[in-house]
Structure 1
Amino acid sequence: MIREAAAADYPAVAAVLTAANPRHPVSVEALEASAKKTRQHPKGLHLAQWVAEQNGEIVGFAGVAQWAGSFHPDRYHVQLAVPPQLTRQGIGTRLAQTVQQHLQTRNAREVQAGAYEDAPQAVQFLERLGFREVAREFDNVLTLSEYQPDRWGKHRQLPPGYRLLTLEKFKAEQGEDAALNAFLTVFNEARADEPRTTPAQPYTLDEIRVYTTHPSALPHGIVLVVTDSGEVAALSELWRDLTDPTRLNTGLTGTARHHRRRGLALAAKLAGLELARQHGARTVWTSNASTNVPMLAINTHLGFKPEPAFIEMQWGSVD
């Protein structure tokens, strides 16, 4: 039976999503925060979720959502998950049919989905539905016990006129709104210049406020490079993993356009890794597009090791 998902289903949904993709376990808290953010977003973002039940047990999940960061009124993102021991029983097919019917009522013109390269049956399933590969993204994992910070000592030194501090300390200095606005400028520039399959929509001040107070936010986990005049020149983010206290996840790392090629983002990233060590983390995870050659090279030199690629797939187009 396929039915609409309710908040009470989230513990079972989190278990299904984690079983389907154990490299990225999902918590109930993260599901609740994501649903709340989407439903309350001022752009009126769409969210629909379903579960598959067998004998009263939830055995599959499907979701359709619009993302603020890549919003287009006719673009949707789909997630579909069935635990590996329950595949090839028609559960995914029935969920996909429900999703397709829903998207038809929405007159969707573009649908984004994806699967990992070490799950070829999932890739083939999407291909049969008419999806095509548009990009690949790699998880990279650094085991902090193998990290050698002494090799990077000179790279932690900033040019004159710059200093390192956390977003929390920057807010204490500048006031919350002024600090977030300065952070927002470089955040939007860095996102816009990242290799991506859909154009990055700029965040607003209200959106960045929600972003930086997500349940996975790590106190002092966003490291900034700031000029003497109070401008944010570069940033590197670390986030808690809500299912594993020994793991941290890297968010955005980037530099404002007119401050690039001075090693600022690398210095911020190295400061973040030192914070991770102090935090007691065992691993740091990051994700990079296969076309983001400079960042992949930096991560490789730092000791990050690649996981199987996530294959981004697309049906239709809004272009």
Structure 2
Amino acid sequence: MTVLIRDLRPDDLRDVESVVRVRRAALPFLITSARDVAHELAGAHPDRHHRVLVAETPGGEVVGSAQAGIAPYSPRPGQGYVNAYVDPARRGLGAGRLLLRAAEEHLAARGAVDSYAWVLDEPAHRAFAERHGYRPGRSAHFLRLDLTEAALPALPDALPAGVELLPATAFAADPRPLFAIDAETTADEPGDVAAEFDDYEHWMADTWHNPSLDKELTTVALVDGKAVAFSAARTDGATRYGSAMTGTLRAFRGRGLAKLAKNTSLHRARAAGYTQAFTGNDSGNDPMLAINRWFGYEICATETRYTRKLGTQ
């Protein structure tokens, strides 16, 4: 059967929902929705060259999808990304190979030197990546917490002196303090591709206005009126909650502020009816892994970031 590769039609709700279906089937730990996928294209910075591809059978069935572009916050030029997903029930049609080829051609045409891809730590996925010239780098874990059964740590009866907790909605008029926390925290995260946030407007479009960012559940810790830590929350608008980023400004670390913000956000999520909580950590990020174990999260899957020099076999 011939599989056709084409661009996502963002104005076609059925097309967008097909991509969501494929992503959820291939990687059920992601927080994704139709509004999220549509925002990928509408909100992407032009320099990102973000593209969403679909693999379609002659009968019109979408069996795979890929997203590709230039890493938006990397200080090194030419760092491309490609993540391809194939519906597990529709493997064997060549969709993954064709999606990867089209994505790499797109990256090379935009000046990418390296292509990075997250690959599930399963034999078939690793073999596919290595067969196409990719080599493994750092790994990261998906973690899951059942909010219907978890005994979340109790919230403190009183906050430490000078500490205040607010939802992100309190910063709607000026989110710049959250940008500052996100930028400093992201710069310190371990990973194969460094990230530096220095474009506030880009961050506003890509992060603050992302429809999956739940600003009511995103919780910010302030010390003497200054925002110093936060736990950002993403939701699918139904049952799934995800921690997008949890971190603290360097000068305020070691006080448990990020843990306090995340615990508060989790309690609020459960009260709002969310039943599943997901998060992800680099396998070498021991401090956050320890915090998530304290909450009761358990590793449910592992990914490895593979890379290939474009233009090589």
- Relative to the length of structure 1, the TM-score reads 0.86
1:286 aligns with 2:279: yes
Query: 1:303 & 1:217 partners in 2: Cα distance?
Result: 23
- What amino acid does structure 2 have at the position aligned with 1:10? V
SS at match of 1:44: helix
| Counterpart among 129, 134, 146 of residue 131 in structure 1 | 134
Query: 1:23 & 1:205 partners in 2: Cα distance?
Result: 29
Q: Which position in structure 1 is the counterpart of 2:93?
A: 89
- What amino acid does structure 1 have at the position aligned with 2:185? A
Q: Is the 8 A contact 1:236 1:268 kept in 2?
A: yes
Shift of 1:23: 3.1
Shift of 1:153: 4.4
Q: Which position in structure 2 is the counterpart of 1:204?
A: 199
Distance 1:86 1:289, change over 3 A: same
Alignment of 1:143-162 (within 5 A): 143-149=146-152, 151-154=153-156, 157-162=158-163
- What amino acid does structure 2 have at the position aligned with 1:247? R
| Counterpart among 24, 29, 32 of residue 23 in structure 1 | 29
Q: Which position in structure 2 is the counterpart of 1:10?
A: 16
Distance 1:222 1:52, change over 3 A: closer
| Counterpart among 74, 83, 86 of residue 79 in structure 1 | 83
1:190 aligns with 2:206: no
- What amino acid does structure 2 have at the position aligned with 1:187? D
Q: Which position in structure 2 is the counterpart of 1:169?
A: 170
SS at match of 1:68: coil
Shift of 1:105: 3.2
Q: Which position in structure 2 is the counterpart of 1:269?
A: 262
SS at match of 2:141: strand
Residue-by-residue CA offset, 1:33-56 (whole Å, 9 max, x unaligned)? 011111xx2x52212343333223
The count of residues paired between Structure 1 and Structure 2 equals: 302
1:35 aligns with 2:41: yes
1:220 aligns with 2:216: yes
SS at match of 1:221: coil
Q: Is the 8 A contact 1:114 1:123 kept in 2?
A: no
Q: Which position in structure 2 is the counterpart of 1:305?
A: 298
Query: 1:11 & 1:99 partners in 2: Cα distance?
Result: 21
Q: Which position in structure 1 is the counterpart of 2:47?
A: 44
- The structure 1 segments of at least 4 consecutive aligned residues displaced by more than 6 Å after TM superposition are none
Q: Is the 8 A contact 2:47 2:70 kept in 1?
A: no
Shift of 1:203: 4.6
Alignment of 1:237-248 (within 5 A): 237-242=232-237, 245-248=238-241
- What amino acid does structure 2 have at the position aligned with 1:214? N
Query: 2:182 & 2:83 partners in 1: Cα distance?
Result: 26
SS at match of 1:237: strand
Q: Which position in structure 2 is the counterpart of 1:56?
A: 59
What is the percentage of aligned positions where both structures have the same residue? Answer: 28
Q: Is the 8 A contact 1:15 1:26 kept in 2?
A: no
SS at match of 2:218: strand
Query: 2:25 & 2:282 partners in 1: Cα distance?
Result: 24
Give 1 or 2: higher helix fraction.
Answer: 1
Q: Is the 8 A contact 1:186 1:233 kept in 2?
A: yes
Once the two structures are overlaid, the 10-residue window that deviates more, 94-103 or 81-90, is 94-103
Shift of 1:126: 0.8
Residue-by-residue CA offset, 1:5-38 (whole Å, 9 max, x unaligned)? 1323323332222322233364322111011111
Structure 1 stretches of 5 or more lacking a match? none
Query: 1:109 & 1:266 partners in 2: Cα distance?
Result: 38
Query: 1:204 & 1:107 partners in 2: Cα distance?
Result: 21
Q: Is the 8 A contact 2:64 2:87 kept in 1?
A: yes
Shift of 1:159: 3.1
SS at match of 2:28: coil
SS at match of 1:217: coil
Structure 2 stretches of 5 or more lacking a match? none
Query: 2:192 & 2:32 partners in 1: Cα distance?
Result: 24
Distance 1:18 1:218, change over 3 A: same
